[in-house]
Chain A
Amino acid sequence: MAVDTDTVRRIAMLARLNVPEDELDGLAGELNKILDWMDLLNGADTDGVAPMTAVKPMPLRQRADAVTEGGIAEDLVANAPEAAGAFFAVPKVIE
């Protein structure tokens, strides 16, 4: 399972993580080591085994349809790096 620097660059882009070019190689090596170790899992026979979804089987709890929250725009933008009134502001997006 070889991860090369191109793969690291692609994953970093997917994860929106700036990785300096000179770190790509080292990271590829580290990821390969970790992924090789993950290959241990192939030794486990999981045929017909369902993936685990909950510690205690229980139904998904559901909420009543009622408006119980809102009206906290000021709180929400209080921690924002940049706001325009009650809006969050980000560098211009071109669609």
Chain B
Amino acid sequence: MSLIEGRSGAWETVIGLEVHAQVVSESKLFSGASTAFGGEANAQVSLVDAAMPGMLPVVNEYCVEQAVRTGLGLGAEINPVSVFDRKNYFYPDLPQGYQISQYSQPIVGRGAVEIALEDGTQRTVRILRLHLEQDAGKSLHDRDPRRTWVDLNRAGVALMEIVTEPDMRSPDEAAAFMAKLRTILRYLGTCDGNMQEGSLRADVNVSVRRPGGALGTRCEIKNLNSIRFIRQAAAYEAGRQVEIIEGGGSIEQETRLFDTDRGVTRPMRTKEEEHDYRYFPDPDLLPLELTRDYVDRIAADLPELPDAKKARFVRELGLSDEDAEVLVADRDNAEYFEAVAEGRDAKAAANWVIHDLFGALNRSGLAIGEAPVGAAHLGGLIDLIAAGTISGRIAKDVFQAMFETGRDARSIVEERGLEQVSDTGEIEAVVDGILAEREDMVAEYRSGKTKLLGFFVGQAMKATGGKANPKTVNEILRAKLDS
């Protein structure tokens, strides 16, 4: 928990999130139009999406399944009966004049997400509900000085609205929750988590109070599309509220927007309070009933989720908590690691993946899916080390070459003649040469400065271009110096 130190004492930030996650599906929630991102204007719009007279919605079974899958992934109750309601309001990018959503009976009820905090402790963020709803279209305000242009390609795309309890106590916790939720959704394959494209965005409810005191009045910051913005907006907003209260003012419950350029929040022009959404069950649709069997079938096919995976990495593969945490944070990373670790020393694999691979990817700005070194190639490199074919030091160079060329380890090692020298005769000759050259130091060693061993090892390695097996070098040196 991190408190804000105000002039009048400490303040606690209280944060709850309403997350909108675009469901991964081919077609929209109630029509057969494509959900693909970035199409030509109104090209991915059906008669239903454009709300032409007499058009009717038919729900997409896969979107329902995805919502159930997500609910199960959040450890939540799946409601056997849920209802699609109409949320009525007027806006040009809402063609029906209502959004089909779920109000009083959502498809998913209470669940929970565990987040790991900086200090190593865990916090549980309770999920209040998850429901399915239609996305709106897009209004473009900057194409014409007098007109707003409307593109309905997104109109009707399935969204999951995931609502948390106000369980987060700092902007960092809100960011950690969002990151964790994103990870879970990506594991489940129910949302691609692409925040830049708007596939995942959050409304952040922020209030402040005296630590442990009664909840304060909250403000909702709309539509934040990056984890950084969530952290910044929440921090700014909490600070703003403390300043107002300490200045003798009071917080007005309102909806605000985050100005990403200036890093401040400002009130929206249209006040949320003016809305009266007149929810009622959509008479074009029947209640959605899900059988126990159906839910069980989806549950049976659920992938291993990050918490379970992390626990297994620690328990069965002997990884440290930190390494396991890093590896499971992204499903692709975890899968890459598992492929490398399969049948190999898991700790070595974790080291290579976390330090060498991630480092190289970071430097080159590549995603794991674009890595020039595939899991099989990295595994091959580790095998060469394990077999003593190359030294760990040479392996770093080989990895670099692999990353640059996309070739496998063995071919690089063979081509460049990097095999480790373990032939004792060859190494003895090198060692003899060094000892003969530095008799002074040999004498020092023998007079008790045994830590000079490292110096001799280094010389031997240098003389062999790093190819000598360090263990053999050590043994031979000891034998000769200690005799």
Q: Do A and B come from one complex?
A: yes
State the CA gap A62–B257 with chains docked (Å): 37
B243 within 8 A of A: no
Contacts of A40 in B (CB 8 A): none
Shortest Cβ distance from A94 into chain B, in angstroms?
6
State the CA gap A17–B64 with chains docked (Å): 36
Q: Are B141 and A66 in contact (CB under 8 A)?
A: no
A12 within 8 A of B: no
Q: Are A63 and B92 in contact (CB under 8 A)?
A: no
Q: Are B33 and A69 in contact (CB under 8 A)?
A: yes
User: Among A54, A69, A88, which residue has its beta carbon within 8 angstroms of that of B47?
Assistant: A69
Q: Are B45 and A72 in contact (CB under 8 A)?
A: yes
Q: Are A62 and B147 in contact (CB under 8 A)?
A: no
Q: Are A91 and B60 in contact (CB under 8 A)?
A: no
Q: Are B60 and A65 in contact (CB under 8 A)?
A: yes
Give 1 or 0 for each of A70-95: 1 = CB within 8 Å of chain B CB.
11110011000010111111111111
Q: Are B26 and A87 in contact (CB under 8 A)?
A: no
A68 within 8 A of B: yes
Q: Are A88 and B92 in contact (CB under 8 A)?
A: yes
Report, as a range, how many residues of chain A touch the other chain: 35 or more
Main secondary structure of the interface of B (DSSP, over half): loop
B residues 257-272 near A (Cβ < 8 Å) are 257, 268-270
Report, as a range, how many residues of chain B touch the other chain: 35 or more
Given contacts A87-B140, A91-B148, A95-B270, contact A70 B43 (CB under 8 A): yes
User: Among B43, B141, B151, B285, which residue has its beta carbon within 8 angstroms of that of A71?
Assistant: B43
Q: Are B288 and A60 in contact (CB under 8 A)?
A: yes
Given contacts A14-B276, A65-B63, A70-B43, contact A87 B34 (CB under 8 A): no
B363 within 8 A of A: no
Q: Are A87 and B41 in contact (CB under 8 A)?
A: yes
User: Among A67, A73, A76, A90, which residue has its beta carbon within 8 angstroms of that of B40?
Assistant: A73
Q: Are A53 and B27 in contact (CB under 8 A)?
A: no
Contacts of A61 in B (CB 8 A): 58-59
State the CA gap A63–B158 with chains docked (Å): 13
Q: Are A90 and B150 in contact (CB under 8 A)?
A: yes
User: Among B32, B92, B287, B288, which residue has its beta carbon within 8 angstroms of that of A69?
Assistant: B32
Contacts of B70 in A (CB 8 A): none
Q: Are A59 and B268 in contact (CB under 8 A)?
A: no
Given contacts A73-B40, A73-B45, A90-B92, contact A63 B61 (CB under 8 A): yes
B residues 52-68 near A (Cβ < 8 Å) are 52, 58-64
Q: Are B26 and A88 in contact (CB under 8 A)?
A: no
State the CA gap A63–B156 with chains docked (Å): 14
Contacts of B27 in A (CB 8 A): 63, 65-69
B378 within 8 A of A: no
Contacts of A41 in B (CB 8 A): none
Q: Are A87 and B50 in contact (CB under 8 A)?
A: no
Give 1 or 0 for each of B9-50: 1 = CB within 8 Å of chain A CB.
000000000000000011100011110000011111111101
User: Among A16, A63, A86, which residue has its beta carbon within 8 angstroms of that of B90?
Assistant: A16
B270: nearest chain-A partner, CB-CB: A95
Q: Are A70 and B34 in contact (CB under 8 A)?
A: yes
State the CA gap A82–B150 with chains docked (Å): 11
Give 1 or 0 for each of B166-189: 1 = CB within 8 Å of chain A CB.
000000000000000000000000
Shortest Cβ distance from B290 into chain A, in angstroms?
10
Q: Are A54 and B42 in contact (CB under 8 A)?
A: no
B88: nearest chain-A partner, CB-CB: A14
Shortest Cβ distance from B278 into chain A, in angstroms?
7
Q: Are A92 and B148 in contact (CB under 8 A)?
A: yes
Given contacts A65-B62, A87-B150, contact A70 B281 (CB under 8 A): no
State the CA gap A84–B289 with chains docked (Å): 43
Q: What are 14 A-B pairs with beta-carbon distances under 8 A?
A: A53-B287, A60-B59, A61-B59, A63-B27, A63-B61, A67-B26, A70-B32, A76-B45, A76-B52, A87-B143, A87-B150, A91-B146, A93-B141, A95-B270
Given pairs A60-B289, A70-B43, 17 additional interface contacts (CB within 8 A)? A59-B286, A60-B59, A60-B286, A63-B32, A64-B62, A65-B25, A65-B60, A67-B33, A68-B32, A71-B43, A84-B144, A86-B40, A87-B143, A87-B151, A88-B150, A95-B141, A95-B268
Nearest first, the 9 A-B pairs at minimum CB distance are A68-B32, A65-B62, A62-B61, A69-B46, A73-B42, A87-B149, A86-B41, A88-B150, A69-B32
